[in-house]
Amino acid sequence: MKKMNRILGFVLVAVLLLGVISPVAAQDDKPVVGVVLKSLANEFFKTLQEGAEAWAKEDGRYTLDIKGMNSETDIDTQLSIMDTFISQGVDMIILAPADSSALVPSVVKAQAAGIPVVNFDVRLDAEQLKANGLEDFLFVGPDNEEGAYLAGMALAEKIGEGGKVFIIEGNPGADNAIARKAGFDKAVAEGKLELLESSTAHWETEEANALVANLLTKYPEVQGIMCANDSMVLGAQKAVEAAGRDDIQIVGFDNIAAVQDLIKQGKALATVDQFGADMVKMAIEVGQKIIDGEIEPLGWEKTPVKLITIEDLE
C-alpha cells in the first residue's frame, strides 16, 4: 500500500505538471530540462555536455540548461544548482550527484515543488532515499561494478596471476566510486592478483598524480594500476612516466579522448565506455515518459558499458 501511495503521488505530480508552463519554459515554448553534472573540468563530463547539446539541437523538443561543478568535490555548487533550477521552475531535472547522500534532500525539495527528477550516472543512496519515502527511486545509468570488473579482468589477463596492483578510487561518498571499487576487487580476487593498496584520489588528475608517485616509491614492485575514472588515469600515467616505469599497465573508466590516445600509444591498457551523451538522452526520455504517465518512476533503467582496448581503436 505504501508503494502504491508513492506511485500515485508521482503520477499526481505529473498530472499537475501537464497543466503548468514554467516561466523558463514559456520563453521558447519548449520544456526546459535542468541537467546537473559533476565537474566540467573532467573531460568525460565536457564530452557528455557537448553530446547532449548536439542531441537536443537535432531533436528539437527540449531546451537544456546544463550546469556543472568546479571540481569533483564541490558538492555545495551542485546543491546551489539544484536550488536554482527549483526556483526557476524547470520542467524536469536530470541529476548526476557528486555525493550520493548529500543530494537527496535537494531531490526531495524538487519533488515537493512538482519537478520530476531523474537520477542518472551516479546512483543516489538507497537508504537515504528510503528514509525520505523514495524507495526504489528511478536510476538511469550503467552497471559501474560490471564495467570496472571488465577493466580489472583485462589487467589481470595482461599481468597474470600474482600480479601486484593498486586501486585508485573515486569519491568515497559516491555510489559509482563504491561500485567501481567492488568491480575492481572482484577482478583482483578472480584474477588472483595481489592488491598492494587501495586509496582515493577523488576523481582528480593532479591528486592521482601525487598519490601514484608516492605509491610507486612505497611499492616499486607494482605491475598494474586500476583507476576508477580516466581523469585519474591521466595523473597516474604521468607519475608512471616520470618514474621511468613504462612496464606498468593502467586501466580506467570513461573512454575519454585523452586516454584513447594513451591506449593507442601503448601507455594505457584499457578503459570502459559508458556512453555519456546517450545516457542523458535516455534519462530525459525516461523523465518524459514519467510525466506522460507511461511508466512508474521506479527501478533501474540500465545503460550499456563496453571495454575499450587497442583493438577497438585501430
Maximum Cα–Cα distance for the chain, whole Å?
Answer: 65
Percent of the chain residues past pLDDT 90, beyond the cut: 87
Closest CA to 164 of 254, 226, 120: 226
Element (H, E) at 225: strand 224-227
| Under 8 Å between Cβ of 11 and 293 | yes
21-69 pLDDT per residue, tens: 333 444 468 999 999 999 999 999 999 999 999 999 999 999 999 999 9
| Under 8 Å between Cβ of 125 and 100 | yes
The pLDDT of residue 70 is 87
- Residue ranges of the chain with pLDDT lower than 50? 1-27
Rounded Cα–Cα distance for residues 235 and 212 (Å): 8
Closest CA to 40 of 85, 9, 80, 70: 70
Which residues are 234's β-sheet partners?
none
Q: Is the dihedral of CA 77, 66, 85, 288 positive or negative?
A: negative
The second-level CATH assignment, the architecture, of 144-273 is 3-Layer(aba) Sandwich (3.40)
| Under 8 Å between Cβ of 239 and 216 | yes
For the chain, the structural domain boundaries read 2-141+277-302, 144-273
Helices (H), the chain: 2-18, 43-59, 75-88, 104-112, 126-131, 144-159, 175-190, 205-218, 230-242, 257-264, 276-291, 310-313
Rounded Cα–Cα distance for residues 184 and 73 (Å): 22
The yes/no answer on whether domain 2-141+277-302 falls in CATH 3.40.50.2300 is: yes
Rounded Cα–Cα distance for residues 134 and 8 (Å): 12
| Under 8 Å between Cβ of 264 and 313 | yes
Edge-first strand order for the sheet with 300-303 is 63-69, 32-39, 92-95, 117-120, 139-142, 300-303
Which residues are 83's β-sheet partners?
none
The pLDDT of residue 173 is 87
Q: Is the dihedral of CA 81, 145, 154, 165 positive or negative?
A: positive
Helix or strand or coil: residue 123? coil
Which residues are 65's β-sheet partners?
34
pTM score of the predicted model: 0.86
